[in-house]
Structure 1
Amino acid sequence: MSKSNQLSRAVASIQKLPASMHQFAMSKAFGSKIKYAGHSGVRFESLSNQECVVSIKNKKKVQNHIGGVHAAAMALLAETATGFVFGMNVPDDKLPLIKKMDIDYVKRSTGDMRAVATLTEEDIARIQSDERGEVTVPVIITDEANVEPIKASMTWAWTAKKR
């Protein structure tokens, strides 16, 4: 079973709101803390200890020169999804850090984008029990046509916070 931390407690308080308000409240709350994600319009669809689902609309502010979601916005989507599912499990006395981004752009995207990042029970147990370490978090990113225009994974690390 997952241990509670500051992020998971914030999500639990948002989940006390009516279900129709969850996405909006999470997107506003986390977008105000992670300014670039908020400015870019990243929307939180769901967040738990094992999975984070985020999306981004193909709007002008995140488009590239051919009208698709910009490569940097796709990377932001992958980092946000993996970072938040990882963050749901990092104890409050540990510092989460992104260590590596692996991204392969394989196809042109169509329309809006969606990312689903997941952690296994084994990964969660290590994050919560080991003093320091790292974990590679897989993420599946699809476009409006349900095609995977990029393949990505992010390696996140944790270590004790400096006092």
Structure 2
Amino acid sequence: MNKLMSIVSKINLLPEIARSRALTLFFGKVVKYAGTTGIVVEELTGHRCIITLKNRRAVRNHIGSVHAVANALIAESATGFLVGMNVPDHAVPVIKTMKLDYVKRAKGDMRAEAHLTEEQIHAIQTLEKGEVTVAVAITDSEDKEPVMAEMIWAWTPKRR
């Protein structure tokens, strides 16, 4: 268990009503940019991460939906937090590839849900370096998937 997993495991012991707020505040302090955007960490375990973003004026584009880059942010955050939960403390996770296809107009609030398989987790935890494609679904308030995303994360030993 790495340091991040240890901290998040303790936060996950909080009552459900306080858990999301604590996770969001924690990641807002650790990842400064994420803390300024209004993302909410709804759930985070070693296997799954759910992040939401309300459609409010500060994140809207010219057609009134959540901006493309804000959708990229929730996908990158959900997949990155998940990889970060599993990478050993002697390694560092880095985004290698972000591919997003905007296939239809998003309506309302946005949600990103990322998953890792047992095989992916095993590779992240045991290989010195490598890469993994993290599954992520980006849905809107109508439960449609207006953005198709592919996120490839790599991990390498930390430099001394």
Give the TM-score range, shorter chain.
over 0.9
* Residue matched to 1:46: 43
2:86 is paired with a residue of what secondary structure? coil
* Residue matched to 2:70: 73
- 1:103 and 1:86 map into 2 onto residues whose CA distance is 19
Q: Does structure 1 residue 127 correspond to structure 2 residue 127?
A: no
1:149-160 matches, within 5 Å, as 149-160=146-157
The superposition leaves residues 49-68 of structure 1 with CA deviations (integer Å, 9 ceiling, x where unpaired) of 11000000001111101111
Q: TM-score scaled to structure 2, two decimals?
A: 0.97
Unpaired runs of at least 5, structure 1: none
- What root-mean-square deviation, in Å, do the aligned CA atoms of Structure 1 and Structure 2 show? 0.8
* Aligned partner (choices 84, 88, 107) of residue 85 of structure 2: 88
Identical pairs, percent = 52
- 2:16 and 2:74 map into 1 onto residues whose CA distance is 23
- 2:107 and 2:13 map into 1 onto residues whose CA distance is 35
1:2-21 matches, within 5 Å, as 4-21=1-18
What is the number of residues matched between the two proteins? 160
Unpaired runs of at least 5, structure 2: none
TM superposition outliers: structure 1 runs of 4+ over 3 Å:
none
* Residue matched to 2:97: 100
Q: TM-score scaled to structure 1, two decimals?
A: 0.96
- 1:132 and 1:74 map into 2 onto residues whose CA distance is 28
1:68 is paired with a residue of what secondary structure? coil
